[in-house]
Amino acid sequence: MQDWQRSVIYQIYPKSFHSHAGNATGDLLGIVAKLDYLQWLGVDYLWITPFLRSPQRDNGYDISDYYAVDPSYGSMADCELLIAEAGKRGIKLMLDIVVNHTSIEHVWFQQARSSLDNPYRDFYIWRDQPNNWESKFGGSAWEYEAQTGQYYLHLFDHTQADLNWDNPKVRDEVFKMMRFWRDKGVGGFRLDVINLISKPADFPEDDSDGRRFYTDGPNVHEYLQQMHREVFEGHDLINVGEMSSTRLEHCIRYSNPQSKELSMTFNFHHLKVDYPNLQKWVRADFDFLQLKQILSDWQTGMQAGGGWNALFWCNHDQPRVVSRFGHDGEYRELSAKMLGTALHFLQGTPFVYQGEELGMTNPGFESIEQYRDVETLNIFRLKREAGVNDVDNMAAIMQKSRDNGRTPMHWHAGHNAGFSRGEPWIGVPANAAQINVAHQLHDPDSVLHHYRRLIALRRSEALICDGVYRQLLPEHPQIWAYLREGEGERLLVVNNFYGGPCDVELPPVIDETQAQRLLISNYPDCPLRTRHLRLRPYESFVVHLTDP
């Protein structure tokens, strides 16, 4: 194992983290002001979602200048200060690189659109006729450009034009830009939808939305190996690829050190267990058996293939996990701790998304006027045009919108939850007065302290990093239990995912002859564990067992 494989990464959505200037949106100096908190929490890296110059149509995932900080976030000097101040606290920055597409305001696109023979024309993907692929944000993936009479490809919003990675000049520009940031001292990169960069040359029609043709596309591994040679090799960087709709065998290749591509991969299969028939925009309960089976299959598969998982429940594109797979009412704290434990004892690198460590919930915004996200607003409009009534439309949005995870961080119970003196760009949830950092810092039983313990355990318990994963009771409809096994020792991890108590009998993996050491639990009293367990609502614990 390499040292970085024991690290924990904290994700910051800077727009909603903390505003030093007292504006509607957060800023880089706002992050600097909170570095002591992050150091106390114990995290090793900060993944900060894009803060480079952007029209902010997709909150920074539409970059118009890769070499400049967006003025709403501050200046390049602020960024340098952030890197330096974080470094003093032993924390490194991971820059979010968005290179599947640029904003149409990027100078490359401005040039490209101006004429058919412009040298930048071939930086993007143009066709005389669109095929039937769909944008991930709804509608066609092609936009007509009247000036030159062709269509350009955009897998996301029409203001996010896909770059043509088959053009070597595009790759040269991307790698040059990444070296610029590497030389500024960032500790790694998070690569946005990086498995979508290679499209098949013939753009076939599809009987679905087209993703099977451009996901993990024909030259993607070759391009990432080139990135590795030109940017990563010989440098202390860790890199995580965001892999949209990917497959296990590709993630093994992306993250196995022998392929010389990336350090680890995000995949999203476990976060589609509340998408009936892969339909996101329908209100639905989650399928628990599917959830634990998917996570187990990825544990076993990545381990067997020498790959490395990025572990996460939450990010800026997902609803809050305690509202999703836990309980955001009376069992909020218990279930938030249980979910943290269930994830943090898996093999891989855990990501904690701002506010997750407090057990922040979905905000429950009931009116479309309270939403800001381009995807949510597109979907609302398209579904309304298709005749879906507003009640059903809103029910799905309240559960699934990305804005659920984008509300301001709760620092204290006062004005705007301590996020900003000014009026925030999106509403502050009503429960900020009860759920906030100031309150939880003083409560050793809080969700926050539980997360801090989880983070510390990853450094002190080697089995969390290298133990072999084995699922127990795979068919149990309420319990997710697993082992992390080593030589003569193992961790037993047991989680009740529901509010009902439960009697359960484990297979013979635990007996009186073993020495037991309780590592963490979410109930204060901790009797000696046996095979016969009576679990309370959302109860969760981890014991270290040593054979006699």
Among residues 252, 14, 278, the alpha carbon closest in space to that of 136 is found at 278
What would the two tokens of residue 84 be? Answer: 């330096």
- Contacts with 397 (C-beta within 8 Å, 6 or more apart), sequence order: 281, 368, 371, 376, 379, 380
**Residue 163 DSSP symbol:** B
Which is closer to ligand GLC, CB of 275 or CB of 331?
A: 275
192, 317, 333, 485: the catalytic one is 192
For the record, the structure tokens of 292 come out as 């634990």
Using a CB cutoff of 8 Å and minimum separation of 24, what contacts does 371-375 make? 371/397, 371/401, 371/403, 372/403, 372/406, 372/425, 372/426, 373/59, 373/401, 373/402, 373/403, 373/406, 374/57, 374/58, 374/59, 374/137, 374/157, 375/136, 375/137, 375/138, 375/401, 375/402
- Closest approach of Cβ 58 to ligand GLC, in Å? 5
- What are the backbone dihedrals phi and psi of residue 45, each rounded to the nearest 5 degrees, phi first? -130, 150
Question: Looking only at residues 223 through 262 of this chain, which bind ligand GLC when binding is defined by CB under 6 A?
Answer: 242
Q: Which of residues 5-44 bind ligand GLC (CB under 6 A)?
A: none
Question: Pick from 112, 141, 161, 193: which binds ligand GLC (CB under 6 A)?
Answer: 193
Task: Identify which of residues 106 and 316 has a Cβ nearer to ligand GLC in the complex.
Answer: 316
The residue whose Cβ lies closest to ligand GLC is: 61
Tell me the C-alpha to C-alpha distance, in Å, between residue 408 and each of 42, 66, 417. Answer: 22, 26, 8
Q: How far is the CB of 300 from ligand GLC (least distance, A)?
A: 26
Judged by CB, which is closer to ligand GLC: 267, or 362? Answer: 267
**Residue 156 contacts ligand GLC per CB under 6 A:** yes
What H or E segment, with its residue span, contains residue 349? strand 349-353
Closest CA to 229 of 241, 240, 237, 217: 237
Determine the size of the site formed for ligand GLC (CB under 6 A).
9
Which residue in 226, 232, 192 sits closest to 101, CA to CA? Answer: 192
Q: How far is the CB of 164 from ligand GLC (least distance, A)?
A: 17
State which residue, 357 or 403, has the beta carbon closest to ligand GLC. 403
Place of tokens 């003569």: 488
**CB-wise, 192 or 539, nearer to ligand GLC?**
192
Given the residues 27, 62, 216, 242, select the one marked as catalytic: 242
Site string for ligand GLC, 116-155 (x = CB under 6 A): ----------------------------------------
Residue 30 exposed, middle or buried by CB count within 10 Å (0-12, 13-18, 19+): buried
Binding mask 295-324 for ligand GLC (x = CB under 6 A): ---------------------xx-------
Alpha helices in 258-360 (DSSP H): 288-305, 321-324, 332-344
192 assigned to active site: yes
**Least Å from the CB of residue 347 to ligand GLC:** 23
CB 83 within 8 A of CB 31: no
Both tokens assigned to 258: 């022998």
**Residue 240 C-beta: closest distance to ligand GLC, Å:** 12
* Complex with ligand GLC: residue 8 or 240, whichever CB lies closer: 240
Q: How far apart are CA 277 and CA 138, in angstroms?
A: 17
Subset of residues 495 to 534 that bind ligand GLC, contact rule: CB under 6 A: none
Beta strands in 217-327 (DSSP E): 238-242, 264-266, 310-311
- Using the minimum distance from each CB to ligand GLC, give the nearer residue, 192 or 333: 192
Q: Is 373 a catalytic residue?
A: no
Locate 543 and state its tokens: 């014991």
Question: Which residues touch 275 (CB under 8 Å, ≥6 apart)?
Answer: 282, 284
Contacting ligand GLC within 418-477 (CB under 6 A): none
Q: Which member of 70, 78, 143, 192 binds ligand GLC (CB under 6 A)?
A: 192
Closest separation in Å from C-beta 137 to ligand GLC:
8
Site string for ligand GLC, 352-391 (x = CB under 6 A): ----------------------------------------
**Toward ligand GLC, which CB reaches closer, 193 or 494?**
193
- For ligand GLC, give the closer residue by CB, 317 or 333: 317
What's the closest the beta carbon of residue 242 comes to ligand GLC, in angstroms?
6
Residue 539 CB, nearest approach to ligand GLC (Å): 33
Least separation in angstroms between residue 156's CB and ligand GLC is 4
CA distances to 75, 107, 267, 351, 355 from 315, rounded to whole Å, are: 25, 30, 12, 9, 10
The interface with ligand GLC within residues 56-115 (CB under 6 A) comprises: 58, 61, 98
Alpha carbon distance 21, 420 (integer Å): 8
126: left (phi over 0), alpha (psi -120 to 50) or beta: beta
Judged by the rule CB under 6 A, the positions of this chain that interact with ligand GLC are 58, 61, 98, 156, 192-193, 242, 316-317
Q: What residues are annotated to the active site?
A: 192, 242
